[in-house]
Structure 1
Amino acid sequence: MARPLVADIDLDALRHNYHLARSLAPRSRAVAVIKADAYGHGAVACARALEAQPAQARPPAFAVACLEEAEVLREGGVHTPIVLLEGIFEAKELAQVEALGLWMAVHSDWQVEALLAHRPARPIPVWLKVDSGMHRLGFSPEEAVGVWQRLAAAPDCASDLQLMSHFATADAVEAGYFRRQLARMQALGERLGAPLCLANSPATLAWPDAHGAWVRPGVMLYGSDPLEVPSEASRRLQPVMTLRSQIIAVRELEEGEPVGYAGRWRAPRRSRIGVVACGYGDGYDRHAVDGTPVLVAGRRTAIAGKVSMDMLTVDLTEIPEATIGSEVVLWGRAANGEVLGVDEVARHCDTISYTLLTGILPRVPRRYSR
């Protein structure tokens, strides 16, 4: 019998979340961001599920971070255009960009020079990255004017030019900095007559003014709410990954007895403790505090004691029906329909859903359902 821990991936929920993004930005094209192995969900399986929809519902493009991620998709039979969000890392990668029919961001002078010197057989679609205030990658708005003009003057090298930027605070309630970034990009787009790709997941959910020619939903595709305060739209997201295991042992403890390493949790009364087949060796966050929520047999309870490499322990005192073999949901949807959001779990681990989802390790099998 196999170890019971599995990451169930609901591809219908993935499609639902993508359609939600499209419905929120009906005048925009929605590139589906599937970098980091589709945020831990399996990039090839997710891309093929989205690609297999009727033509009018398919993503016009996928987005990944680097060439290696694009190669995996092409080898997996994915034919949709793919945008390299960080562009190339060496000039020699341009040959593979061309061979695989990829689109690419350019954010540095050396990338522009490499592209113009490459002279591809077919022009490469280019997304010009502008630093509107995130201060990671991109040209300043003033620099971007000259770069755009150079690329536009080289139609044999670059085609289908888009302006792209990234918001630092689109998830926040305080919108001042977000609005300044948006205003810079809208002014630049108007000056150049350029199509804009600005809206990440939070901006797609909450800021229609930012939608532009393209939106690029990322973490929202996987059912995580990126907003500081949930909105009506974000409450419609469905969890895609359910991290599911079982109780593998039960212990009866007297009041005051400790559980786990360092005895961090002590029974406040006579207690039942369940041992779960899941630990930080699987990618579950070892910083989860006592009280981190868990579903056992579809009912809410909590972690009791430090997370170990292969196991964690939960309080079963108020769930008398729980026994060896009972379902445990670390996040996602239980068999009875009860949902435990990955964002809630992340808050108890002092982290964000992105780290939990992308942190699930290869020894946890992914099981796909439609």
Structure 2
Amino acid sequence: MSRPTQAFIDRSALTHNLSIVRKYAPHSRVMAVVKADAYGHGLLQTAQALANVDGFALLELDAAINLREAGYQQPILLLEGFFSTQELALFERYRLSAVIHHPEQIAMLLASRHPQLNLFLKINTGMNRLGLRPEKVSEIIGQLQKNHCSKNITLMTHFASADDPSQHDSVIQQLQCFQQVVHTHAHPSSLANSAAIMCYPQSHADWVRPGIMLYGASPFTDRTAADLDLRPVMTLTSKIIAIHELKAGDKVGYHGLFQADCPMRIGIVACGYADGYPRHAPTNTPVLVNNQQSRLLGRISMDMLTVDLTNIQDVQVNSPVILWGKEISVDEVAQRAGTTSYELLCALAPRVEKIAC
């Protein structure tokens, strides 16, 4: 029998979450962000569930080509653009759109024999990660148009803190910086990530770029996915593979981080940090065993973790375990582990079988 750790991918939840995006931004086209294997959910099965989306955005050139070869005709945007002039032929052949965020990319375009790409010019409005200097944008647009390097130009930026209500002023500053640049240009624009889609309608513009909300997790620390009517797409499951009886004083796992203070029963689950479960998830992180609330005990191992079975009814080897999903939010597990749902979903290991349902 194969190892029981599996991730079930609910395609109907993906389509529901897309409908929530459209509810918030009814006048914008939707560029679904499917980078990192669709946040760990599987690129092609995610694209199939989102087949009526207006476009896809990702980082990996081979994944973009896979989407195009699978028959998707929508715009496909590479969020870091191209990295060499050799890649430009592939961009042209597969009709891929490129983010331009650095003068070196412009130099590659000007020197290439593969012009007429759809370009998204990324403007650095304050995040200081990727992006062109605002005062250089007009000059760059003139260069590209003069040298016939683009079919279409879209102007874009990315918010640093749209998910943090205390950073409202920072978001508005970025928005104002962007508007100062684009008001003199008749080009489409794209600004809003998941958090901005829900909190800053003035940022919706021509394209919105939802990521985490499509997968049913919340971009906010103070609002749950359920609060936002988002449905979890991934349910990570496994099974009990061993059961032990402990007496008071017995320790559990590496370094004995958990010690029983009374007789208790524990179960070993076939899932660990090599599967993508967070190593730093502490004792008392919630787990569902046999459809009953339980908790983690001790340190997560590479391939296994330990759960409390003391008050769990009818449990035995092969009893089902849910680590996150519909019953236990990935956001809660991430919060307990001191990380984000983005990291947990993207960190799902290739060895975990993904099953569309």
- Alignment TM class, shorter chain as reference: over 0.9
How far the C-alpha of 1:233 sits from its partner, in A, is 8.3
Distance (whole Å) between structure 1 residues aligned to residue 226 and residue 284 of structure 2 = 29
Amino acid at match of 1:171: D
Q: Is the 8 A contact 1:152 1:161 kept in 2?
A: no
Amino acid at match of 1:172: D
Specify every segment of 5 or more residues in structure 2 that has no aligned partner in the other structure, as ranges.
Answer: none
- State which of 147, 164, 177 in structure 2 corresponds to 1:184: 177
How far the C-alpha of 1:75 sits from its partner, in A, is 3.8
Amino acid at match of 2:163: D
Distance (whole Å) between structure 2 residues aligned to residue 97 and residue 197 of structure 1 = 21
**Is residue 343 of structure 1 aligned with residue 335 of structure 2?**
no
How far the C-alpha of 1:109 sits from its partner, in A, is 1.1
Q: Is the 8 A contact 2:218 2:225 kept in 1?
A: no
How far the C-alpha of 1:223 sits from its partner, in A, is 0.8
Question: Identity of aligned pairs, percent?
Answer: 45
**Is residue 80 of structure 1 aligned with residue 74 of structure 2?**
yes
Distance (whole Å) between structure 2 residues aligned to residue 7 and residue 185 of structure 1 = 40
Distance 1:207 1:345, change over 3 A: same
Distance 1:218 1:192, change over 3 A: same
Partner of 1:152: 145
Q: Is the 8 A contact 2:225 2:231 kept in 1?
A: no
SS in 1 for 2:4: coil
Amino acid at match of 2:143: R
Q: Is the 8 A contact 1:272 1:315 kept in 2?
A: yes
SS in 1 for 2:283: coil
- State which of 295, 298, 315 in structure 1 corresponds to 2:308: 315
Q: Is the 8 A contact 1:296 1:326 kept in 2?
A: yes
Deviations 1:244-301 (A, max 9, x none): 1111121111122111111110112221111111111212111111111111122222
Q: Is the 8 A contact 1:205 1:233 kept in 2?
A: no
Structure 1 residue runs of 4 or more that deviate by more than 6 Å after TM superposition: none
Distance (whole Å) between structure 2 residues aligned to residue 232 and residue 242 of structure 1 = 14
Specify every segment of 5 or more residues in structure 1 that has no aligned partner in the other structure, as ranges.
Answer: 52-57, 334-338
Q: Is the 8 A contact 1:173 1:229 kept in 2?
A: no
- State which of 274, 278, 292 in structure 2 corresponds to 1:281: 274
How far the C-alpha of 1:73 sits from its partner, in A, is 2.1
**Is residue 5 of structure 1 aligned with residue 12 of structure 2?**
no
**Is residue 168 of structure 1 aligned with residue 157 of structure 2?**
no
**Is residue 353 of structure 1 aligned with residue 347 of structure 2?**
no
- State which of 305, 308, 312 in structure 1 corresponds to 2:298: 305
TM-score normalised by the chain length of structure 1: 0.92
Deviations 1:222-252 (A, max 9, x none): 1110113217985211101110111112111
How far the C-alpha of 1:92 sits from its partner, in A, is 1.3
Amino acid at match of 1:238: R
Mapping for residues 1-370 of structure 1, pairs under 5 Å: 1-51=1-51, 58-120=52-114, 123-154=116-147, 156-174=148-166, 175-230=168-223, 235-333=228-326, 339-369=327-357
Distance (whole Å) between structure 2 residues aligned to residue 229 and residue 162 of structure 1 = 33
Deviations 1:135-181 (A, max 9, x none): 01111111112112322344x42022111101000000111111100
Partner of 1:55: none
Distance (whole Å) between structure 1 residues aligned to residue 224 and residue 299 of structure 2 = 34
Deviations 1:189-226 (A, max 9, x none): 21223322000111112211111111000111111101
SS in 2 for 1:113: helix
Amino acid at match of 2:348: I
Please give the root-mean-square deviation of Cα atoms over the aligned residues, in Å.
1.6
SS in 2 for 1:182: helix
How far the C-alpha of 1:111 sits from its partner, in A, is 1.0
